[in-house]
Chain A
Amino acid sequence: MRPTAVKPFLPKLQRKLGLGLALTLSGAPGLFAQEPLPTHLPTESPRTVAYEMDVALAEDGHTISGQLKVTWVNQTSSPTDELYWHVYNNAWEGPQSAWLTEARMKGDDTMPREFGHTEVEWAHFLGITNPEGEVIGEGNLDLDFEYLPQPGAPLDRTVARVKLPRKVLPQHAVTVELHFTATMPRAFRRSGFGGEGYLHAVQWFPKLGVFEKVGGETSWNCPPYRYLVEFYADYGSYKVNLTLPARYENHFVTSGSILGTGAAHNESGTITYFTEAQDIHDYAWTVDPEARVIEREFRAEMYRDEEEEQKVARALGRSVEMVRPSPTKMILMLQPEHADLEERYFDALGKAIYYFGLWYGSYPYPTISCVDPANDARATGGMEYPRLITGGASLGVAETTLRPQGVTVHEFGHQFWYGLVGNDEFRHAWMDEGFNTFSTKRIMNKAFPAQLDTYSVFGTEYVGHAPLPMPSYESGDSRGFLSLEQWESPDLGFVPDVSLALRKHDSLGRFLAELPPVTYFPKVSHDSVLDEREKFRVAWGQPLQHPTMDLQDTMQRRINAYYRPALTLETMARLMGEERWTRVLRAYHERFRFQHPQPEDFLRTVQEFGHGASLKGENQSVTMDWANFWEHAYVGNAPMDFKVHHLTSIPSMQTGQTSGAPQFDVEIGITRSTDFAVPVEVRVTWEDGSATDLVWAGNDWVWTYQWSKHPMPAAKVEIDPRRRLLLDRDWSNNTFTREPHSENAWHVGVQTMLWAQQVLQYFGGVG
């Protein structure tokens, strides 16, 4: 145990000024110099690949065939005579694929209702070009498009390799051409078609992997399409000519820009869209003859948040005009049944373009398309591709659920974290999902009213929050009879067990039993950022640095890719202070826009732009050590938990004193329950409401602090009063109050009783 510091009581003036002064004394962490941020936004990518495609969609609405020509530039310092390809669509050709095999192993045995697959009919080598643009080597040679068996899935065909006739030297470019036919699956896990002509064409063409340094050696980073991963590719340009059945005219959205005034009409009765896009790393498109395609202009003036603009401008040392996002076109493909969601989609899209642009730099593309998926193709919803995202919502969804706003903001956010900063999603999914979740939650809190808990009746949602869950048992649990849910026959051994479902948890039945308008808490309001803490309920089994594709299950992926990094980033932001944090993220984004950053790149940026951040208390000031923080938050796997150990206020023993104001010896004790050491603020509130803010460096297990002969006893001690430490997994042990507020418990008790009373009244009439 560390020796305790002894602090005399606060000066009288400060006590009178109370909390306000205490806050001022504590202050925001660190001071900030407003020199201009030395980084800048790049305007174009390295353009490592250039795809040219001439493809047609068959009348069946889900078979795509055509030619693909790609030129790949070797941007590394190592030569190679191979090209590796992702053929993601082959994940859906049968149960033998790596994706479906791994899914089954992780307990998910769903299969596409209709499988899909991609066949490459031929591949040709067209030539190699040197940096000067001269063609070297023979052209038009046949190439063997060879699928590579994968560990655990020898029949998987999601990775292919072609051997080139000669090496591609650094800065040289190779061009190959191939013909392929992709039969898309019925909508399943991100891609596919629906029953009424909807087709979401993603990962529909053979796509090159990334030739880069992985683990110290330069090689093709091209793992198979696995259960827990998304996509990763090089930046470049796309020219795609798409021939479609005529019914799709004006019912088409794409990652590219449509050239000319629209579709060209062909003699065969089909139409062709000529499209192109620069500086993106994937190309997706969607058609739906039933959907409406609506366009609106985004202009920053429509979404102005002057306070935030000034904060960002001040933090970056730039003018407000420089940080204000530039215009773009918003395109929405909306299901006719969701006509009432049009405003919600556009509102979310506009606000997302505004805030992401303000914080990280303007969205650089001329369009962003958002697809509202068809009902029978919801599996394609909530996904991101460059310049094209999918949302998703249901009929009758209440405004207060913030659907589809939440998913729209999140998927648009991927234009920045994944699209513009293109991390390796196979290994470090947290670098896009985590950054994006962090950003999304901030926008949801800032630009939208709080989300409220709802219950559903016939699919329509109403505001309310049940005091307790209804008693329910797993199927097969004989206790289910107690709640009149099911009856299980006793285990007789020689006759088969019988299980009878006595009732069903349908929404109307539940409604009548629980009477939500009467018995539920009226408004339970969510804070998007704090909601991330919900995932503390699940064990955080693997550290953040664990490669995404090797995580143990989908829950661990959700924790490690989304929630944990979001909480980590929010904790860093709050420890660092808003303006310093704004610089850190902006610098990181500007440095790595159109790049493939690694986790160390982020840490270096934090250390460079976040140095000097400190927590200040009346006892001491502690400077943040970001490397140490990173060691705990990223490399290690220990949770964070601080706890109030004790608060004592004992009347002082004063020799010879018989009268006068009483005095107290006050002591607080704080413990750190885990290995995660980080500085922490502690606030002691006195009986008159004034407060003293202290800082503990957090590097010991226990910390005590004492006041002798203090004129009043302490009423409360609170760890992390400003809630900077979002990673602290238990806030219920952060506060000790001498006189707790029991009104919260009374309300819970009455509400629970009312609820139980009505449920019992209902069941009192059953049977």
Chain B
Amino acid sequence: MSKENTSHAESAPFNMPTTMVVDAFPVRDPARREAKDLAPRERSIGSHLAGGVWAALARPRLLLFLMGVSLVLPLVVALPAFFAADQHLSNFEAIPGGTPIDLPTVAPAWIFEEWFRAAPTERNLIAQSLAPLLILASLFNLVITAGWMRNALLKRRRHSLRTFLQCGGHFFFPFLRTWILALPMFACITWIFWGTPAEWLFERMLPEGDASQAASEQTGRWLETLRQVLFLIALWKTEILLDLARASMICGNRRSALVAIGRGIGFFLRSPWQVFGLMSLGFALELFWIAGAKAVQELAGWPMWTLLLILPFGRIVFRGARYVSLASFYAAKTHDSSAAEESREAQDEGDFPDMAF
């Protein structure tokens, strides 16, 4: 481990006099400033998240790029839907005495029904075209995650779309391994909550394990709700563990997915509430943005298409903020940014091709 990568906590007693002297003068020493950038500090999760939001907002080109992606991908579904609707709905007018046709506010169900029947599989086929996009979005998110987390550890002058994507590419395959390991984890959770264990438990609480057979509808409803909420929490925790594993890979420049997941679990067990709070706060902000955007759009009377810009902007920023803040939090807690820095040096020395964006 090089001197530069030694953490403040370990080096402070030895460096303190020098530090004090240097700090007393306005010296622009790049190495020292970088060390300060990297210095882990005890910050609240709110502070980490705020830093993450700022870090995300400070990258307009990156945001523009991600906005572009979020507009292009859905077109795969939206364009066929538009053309199909143009073919099947454009001749319809309201039935005399019936509901007017005004899709943004009210629409009679029968016009959709006529469309289904005129082209019985068309809507399903269009919907199914979304399926490969789901997996694509999930995989693309690996690149995005790596980019954001990496940004958390870089000083600002190094932030660029190029380094963002370079890092995403660099960590794509290690992250993919975590993604693949996530599949059995999700399957296991799904099995626990909806498979044999849940069935066994429900059979002990409800006739035939069926909530609809409960003597009290309220009881059945609560049990089902509880199951769904717990299932969702379990999924969320799994996501957090995976993100922690990725943060550990980025911060430590590690490539073993299994080890990273182990470190992620260990980290989570050491600071469960802080990690859970940080990620959930970030998620809550994203939800507030969504609700607020919709409310503003309605109050201002803006057309529906404006949401196509407003919503992804907020979601991208807050999601980026989550990843940035998680990585910075991880680094601060573990003081583990040395290997990452080595990796950064390698990048600076031109390991990655210079790309113009």
Residues of A within 8 A of B (CB): 113, 194-196, 335, 337, 374-376, 378, 394-396, 450, 453, 458-459, 465, 467-471, 473, 479, 481-484, 487, 500-504, 506-509, 512, 515, 517-518, 521-527, 530-531, 533-534, 536-537, 721-723, 729-733, 735-737, 740-742, 744-754, 756-761, 763-767
Known: A533-B113, A730-B114, A748-B89. A482 touches B141 (CB 8 A): no
Report whether B110 and A527 are in contact in the complex, using a CB–CB cutoff of 8 Å.
Answer: yes
CB distance from B111 to the nearest CB of A (A): 8
Which of chain B's residues 222-248 have a Cβ closer than 8 Å to chain A?
Answer: 224-225, 227-229, 231-232, 235, 239, 242
B261 to chain A, nearest CB (A): 13
A375 CA / B86 CA spacing, docked (Å): 45
User: B66-103: which residues lie under 8 A (CB-CB) from chain A?
Assistant: 70-71, 73-79, 81-83, 85-86, 88-93, 95-96, 98-99, 101, 103
Which of A374, A465, A518 has a CB less than 8 Å from the CB of B290? A518
Inter-chain contacts of B89 with A (CB < 8 A): 744-745, 748
Which chain B residues lie closer than 8 Å to A741 at the CB level?
90-93
Kindly state the separation between the CA atoms of A375 and B304 in the bound complex, as whole angstroms: 42
A722 lies within 8 A of B78 (CB): no
Which chain B residues lie closer than 8 Å to A515 at the CB level?
Answer: 290
Query: Is A748 a contact partner of B85 (Cβ separation < 8 A)?
Result: yes
Q: Contact: A732 with B114, CB < 8 Å?
A: yes
> Residues of A contacting B134 with CB < 8 Å?
471, 482-484, 759-760, 763
> 7 nearest interchain CB pairs?
A749-B82, A740-B90, A753-B78, A745-B86, A747-B103, A756-B74, A748-B85
Are B118 and A730 neighbours in the complex by a CB distance under 8 Å? yes
Q: List 11 A-B contacts (CB under 8 A).
A: A337-B218, A375-B213, A504-B193, A521-B103, A521-B107, A527-B95, A530-B95, A732-B88, A745-B82, A756-B77, A760-B133
User: Is A469 touching B123 in the complex (CB atoms < 8 A)?
Assistant: yes
Cβ-defined contact, A732 with B91, below 8 A: yes
Does the CB pair B217–A744 fall under 8 Å? no
Is B252 positioned at the interface, with any CB of A under 8 Å from its CB? no
CB distance from A195 to the nearest CB of B (A): 4
B interface residues with partner A (beta carbon < 8 Å): 70-71, 73-79, 81-83, 85-86, 88-93, 95-96, 98-99, 101, 103-118, 120, 123-124, 126-135, 137-141, 144, 179, 182-184, 186-187, 190-191, 193-195, 207-208, 212-218, 220-221, 224-225, 227-229, 231-232, 235, 239, 242, 290-291, 293-294, 304-305, 307-308, 311-312, 315, 319
**B81 and A767 contact, CB distance less than 8 A:** no
Are A375 and B217 touching (Cβ within 8 A)? Answer: yes
Q: Please tell me if the beta carbons of B212 and A470 are within 8 angstroms of each other in the complex.
A: no
A residues near B105, Cβ cutoff 8 Å = 522-523
Interchain CB contact under 8 A, A537 and B86: no
Q: Is the CB of A737 within 8 A of B91?
A: yes
Interchain CB contact (< 8 A) of B109 among A502, A526, A735, A751: A526
Question: Between A and B, how many residue pairs show CB distances below 8 Å?
Answer: 297
A508 in contact with B229 (CB, 8 Å): yes
User: Which A residues lie within 8 Å of B184 (CB)?
Assistant: 500
Q: How far apart are the CA atoms of A536 and B110 in the complex, in Å?
A: 12
Q: A767 to B90, Cβ gap below 8 A?
A: no
Q: How far is the CA of A744 from the CA of B186 in the complex (A)?
A: 40
Other-chain contact of B85, A196, A335, A737, A749 (Cβ < 8 Å): A749
Instruction: Give CA–CA (A764, B216) in the complex, Å.
Output: 39
Q: Which residues of A contact B231 (CB under 8 A)?
A: 504, 506, 509
Other A-B pairs, 4, CB within 8 Å; known A504-B190, A744-B85, A763-B137 = A479-B131, A508-B232, A526-B108, A760-B73
What's the least CB distance linking B226 to chain A, in Å? 10
Q: Which residues of B contact A503 (CB under 8 A)?
A: 186, 190, 235
B107 to A767, Cβ gap below 8 A? no
State whether B213 touches A534 (Cβ < 8 A). Answer: no
Q: Once bound together, how far apart are the Cα atoms of A468 and B130, in whole Å?
A: 10
Q: Which of B93, B128, B305 contacts A735, CB < 8 Å?
A: B93
User: Which residues of chain B are near A395, meaning CB under 8 Å?
Assistant: 217-218, 221
**Contact, CB under 8 Å: A761 / B70:** yes
B99 and A525 contact, CB distance less than 8 A: yes
Cα A748 to Cα B122 in complex, Å, equals 14
The answer to whether A748 touches B213, judged by C-beta atoms less than 8 angstroms apart, is no
A394 and B120 CA atoms in complex are apart in Å by: 31
Contacts of A764 in B (CB 8 A): 137-138, 140-141, 144, 319
Question: Would A760 and B225 be within 8 Å (CB), given that A196-B215, A740-B90, A748-B85 are in contact?
Answer: no
- Which residue in A471, A504, A749 is a CB contact (below 8 Å) of B81? A749
Contacts of A506 in B (CB 8 A): 227-228, 231-232
Cα distance A194–B126 in the bound complex, in angstroms: 45
In chain B, what residue has the closest Cβ to A396? Answer: B221
CB closest chain-A residue, reference B305: A750
- Tell me the bound Cα distance from A666 to B34 in angstroms: 81
Report yes or no: B217 in contact with A337, Cβ–Cβ below 8 A: yes
Q: How far is the CB of A584 from chain B (nearest CB, A)?
A: 22
Within the assembled complex, what's the spacing in Å between the Cα atoms of A756 and B311?
12
Assess the A753–B90 pair: CB atoms within 8 A: no
The docked-state distance in angstroms from the alpha carbon of A479 to that of B228 is 25
With beta carbons under 8 angstroms apart, the residue of A487, A507, A753, A761 that contacts B187 is: A487
Residues of B within 8 A of A375 (CB): 212-217, 220
Instruction: Judge whether B239 and A765 touch: CB under 8 Å.
Output: yes
Q: Are the C-beta atoms of A523 and B131 separated by less than 8 Å? A: no
CB neighbours of B232 from chain A (8 A): 506, 508-509, 512
Does the CB pair A482–B135 fall under 8 Å? yes
Partner among B79, B95, B141, B186 whose Cβ is within 8 Å of the Cβ of A502: B186
Instruction: Kindly state the separation between the CA atoms of A16 and B106 in the bound complex, as whole angstroms.
Output: 32
Do B208 and A500 touch (CB < 8 A)?
A: no
Residue of B103, B179, B187 contacting most chain A CB atoms (<10 Å): B103
Q: Which residues of B contact A763 (CB under 8 A)?
A: 134-135, 137-138
A637 to B56, CA, bound (A): 65
Chain A residue numbers with a CB within 8 Å of B217 are 335, 337, 375, 394-395
Cβ–Cβ contact A537 & B117, under 8 A: yes
Query: Do B183 and A487 have beta carbons less than 8 Å apart?
Result: yes
CA–CA, A533 and B113, complex, Å = 8
